[in-house]
Chains A and B, each alone.
Chain A
Amino acid sequence: MELDTIKLCCAKCGFTIEQYSATELAEVPRKAKRYKYLLQKSSICPACLASGRLKEVRVTRESATAPPGGPVQPSAAAPVAHERHPEAPTPMLDALERGRWPSHVTELRQTRYPLQMYEQSLQRRTTQWDYGGYVSLPGVAAGVLVRASARPEITKGSNFLRIMDPCGNFFKTDKLRRLCEIAEKYAYGMLHLLSTGGDLEMLGIPTENLRPAVAEIMAIGFDVGSTGDDYRTSEECIGPAQCDLALYDTLGFREAWYKRFLDDVQYPRFPHKVKCKFAGCPNDCVRGGQKSDFFVCGVFRDLPAIDQSRVKTWVDQGGDITTVCTRCPGGCLSFNNGDGLRIDGDSCLRCMYCVNKVPGVRPGGDRGVAILVGGKMRGKFGPMLGKVVVPFLKAQPPDYKEVFDLLERMTEVYDEHARKKERVGDFLLRIGLSEFLRLAGVPVSARVVSQPRINLYYHWEPEEIKDERTAVQEVGPPQAGV
């Protein structure tokens, strides 16, 4: 029996979408590439509109009506079973399982993850996953991510869902358990907790299973989205829920952000993805300055408040105050036994170094947020750090109107003027910071220039700074800057 024609048909109705002859596939590389591409992507059948992977039908010369040789998809009903992945020895992965530490390979072995993809990546020293795309799913405007495979004989590809995490990434155990059940039923049987973007990913859901999986996730009270050219799920530090340094309520801030911008998370409309991160203090545990297009960072405007008696106790107990003073980035700390710890207001960078090192030094009382724009790692012009657009803004709960209005103005400017697939940082570099400030209606001040003086707080006037804490502790008088 000689192989004659290979047809690509709809898995449901059998409608022939493309067909190739065996010689054509062997001789014309363009056709072979197209054939390979069609096999691994999900398509919509023009006849019955079912979306999914195409079925391969091989027709031989002797028996033109032979039953299809390709894998037969079970029709609808319950979750669709996963494709079978070929078994093969895994010498490289076995090496990763030795040792007395927990092994990720041991975990992956227990799931339906195509382990050969990983093994082959290690053996060939390059990843075997290919560029992905999106599967459109009615009801989920942002679509579902798909990672294509460069080795269709191992796996055809893998769809994955991004689940928006609750603020602070707090999961009640029973809800997480129900998510695990869904992952066990429809996906590889594992969760990716948490992705670097701060959301929960459910890997390896066959296209036919997407709709019931999304419905069940929604029923628990989670939402999916955060793919495509929209706001990605934001990330925030744990803030006042667990941390002593938070300068504003990052969790409440993100809750309010969701309330206001949820449509932009769900419906892609921007030229490229936009990432937001919220950090409670300039320590920036969420790496927002490097990674996010719009970064809201908690800051204080006056000087750090010093509890001299606690500092003295710490020094008496052997605290290395000399090193702290010499390593202060602004060079503004001085200590002697008579005066205690003194801060030179003109040079203080509000960098949190002394706050982190010395017990008894706390952030100042005049608190708010700074907004940085344009941080990113990829894009046309490579990695960039965020630029300070607004050095200080009061964050007023519950709706944070002032901050969000500004964010909205800036995204509108980006949406209106940026080119397709241009990140905010590239856009900022192309039009210039002054033009961006003019378009966004942010007043230009001496504190915001494209190459700022290292100390942004130098120009604050003493009367601009007021301690707004309700219960000010008995500490040394905050020394006003300038």
Chain B
Amino acid sequence: MPAITLAGKQFDVDENGFLQDPAQWSDEVALGLAQTEGIEKLTDEHWKVVRYLREYYMKFHVAPSIRMLCKQTGLPLKQIYQLFPSGPAKGACKLAGMPKPTGCV
């Protein structure tokens, strides 16, 4: 099991760098994960997406569809790709501390 050190703490991650235990997530962890994703600074829009994903995941234990994400955050899909270069599934979900969503994106 690989591990990663963020904000002075050790976390278990899978081979793609997703947190194994979503309960360990905190704002500092998100900041640390952003560094690994190559995002330098988290803007309000980043937080909006991450918080929405987090909220949805804690409620339904599954990642929302891309359409839901765009609709609820009010951001167009293109902008989400600009905010998270590796895409909403791989990038944004990693920051939100969720396991890697299934599917192709």
Q: Which residues of A contact B (CB under 8 A)?
A: 15-18, 38, 43-44, 46-47, 49, 133-134, 136, 138-139, 141, 143, 227-229, 263, 267-269, 271, 415-416, 420-421
Contact = CB atoms under 8 A, between A and B. Distances in A.
B56 interface: no
A38 B78 CA distance: 31
B30 to A, nearest CB: 15
Contacts of B8: none
Nearest to A227: B104
B49 to A, nearest CB: 15
A196 to B, nearest CB: 19
Nearest to B38: A49
Interface in B2-32: 2, 4, 13, 15-17
A49 B104 contact: no
A141 B65 contact: no
A133 B103 CA distance: 9
Interface of B: 1-2, 4, 13, 15-17, 36-38, 65-67, 70, 77-78, 81, 85-87, 90, 103-105
Nearest to B33: A46
30 contacts: A15-B2, A17-B15, A18-B1, A18-B15, A46-B2, A46-B4, A46-B13, A46-B17, A46-B36, A49-B37, A49-B38, A133-B104, A134-B105, A136-B86, A136-B87, A136-B90, A139-B85, A143-B105, A229-B104, A229-B105, A263-B77, A267-B77, A268-B66, A268-B104, A268-B105, A269-B66, A269-B70, A416-B67, A420-B103, A421-B103
B65 A43 contact: no
B65 A420 contact: yes
A134 B86 CA distance: 12
Nearest to B81: A141
A44 B65 CA distance: 24
Nearest to A16: B2
Given A43-B15, A49-B36, A420-B65, A134 B77 contact: no
Contacts of A420: 65, 103
Contacts of A141: 81, 87
B16 A43 contact: yes
A226 to B, nearest CB: 13
A268 B92 CA distance: 15
Contacts of B85: 138-139
Contacts of A16: 2
The 3 closest A-B pairs by CB, nearest first: A138-B85, A46-B17, A141-B81
Nearest to A145: B104
A15 B81 CA distance: 28
A57 B75 CA distance: 44
A15 B15 CA distance: 11
A116 to B, nearest CB: 28
Given A43-B16, A46-B4, A46-B36, A228 B65 contact: no
Contacts of A269: 66-67, 70, 77
Contact of A17 (B2, B36, B66, B87): B2
Nearest to A134: B104
Contacts of B105: 134, 143, 228-229, 268
B67 A228 contact: no
Contact of A38 (B4, B15, B67, B104): B15
